[in-house]
Each structure stands twice: as structure tokens, then as C-alpha cells.
Amino acid sequence: MPKAKPTQVIVHRIELQEKERELIEAVTATQTMKNLGYTAAAVGAVAVGYLGYKTLHEHYTGDEPSFYNMLSPEGRDKVREEAKENGHARTLWKLFTTPTLKGWSPF
């Protein structure tokens, strides 16, 4: 059986007083600050992790890890030599995990 089309539209509204609006604004501001705090904590954790990796890498290899090492002529030569020895897929993986191509691995 087909459904009949509506003959009227009923609008329901919730109207707030000034005090209720102030309370909602306070809750909204609190929630915004909480979300910003979580974001700041996540960014801080990533930064600390990166600095720890960088420090350990420099300690074990003597080179500061940087993706910009690939842009120098010596860095490009290292990448070519590594690709000839170990293949392109392994070299690409090594570039992402060990930017200086020193061969350091914690495993």
C-alpha cells in the first residue's frame, strides 16, 4: 500500500534562555580545550619519538639522520650502490627506516 504524502509540516523548536546558552558555551569551550590538549599531546609524543630515534641513530652510526643526505652527490652514490647490492625494494625500505644508509638496525 503506498504511503500518503504529508499534508502539513510541523516544526519543533527548542528555545534556550540566556543562562542555558551560557552553560552550553562553557561546555563547548571546555570541549574545544580538551581536544586541543589531546592534539598537543600527540604532537609532543611524535616529536619526542623522532628525537629519540635521531639520537640513537647518531650514536650508533656517527651520522645525523636526514632525508636530505640523499640530495647530495655522495648521498645519491650511496643510494645507487645500495640498490645494486640489495635491490630497489630493499633500498627503498632502508631509505625510509635508515636515511643515512649506514646499515644500522636495532634488530
DSSP summary character for residue 71: G
pLDDT of amino acid 10: 92
C-alpha distances in angstroms, 42 versus 35, 78, 95?
Answer: 11, 34, 25
- pTM: predicted TM-score of the whole model, two decimal places: 0.49
Residue 81 has pLDDT above 50, yes or no: yes
- In tens, the pLDDT along 93-106 reads 777 776 555 554 43
Residue 57 has pLDDT above 60, yes or no: yes
Distance CA 1, CA 83 (A): 71
Provide the pLDDT confidence category of residue 32 given band limits of 50, 70 and 90. very high
For residue 107, what pLDDT is reported? 35
Say if CB 102 and CB 61 are below 8 A apart.
Answer: yes
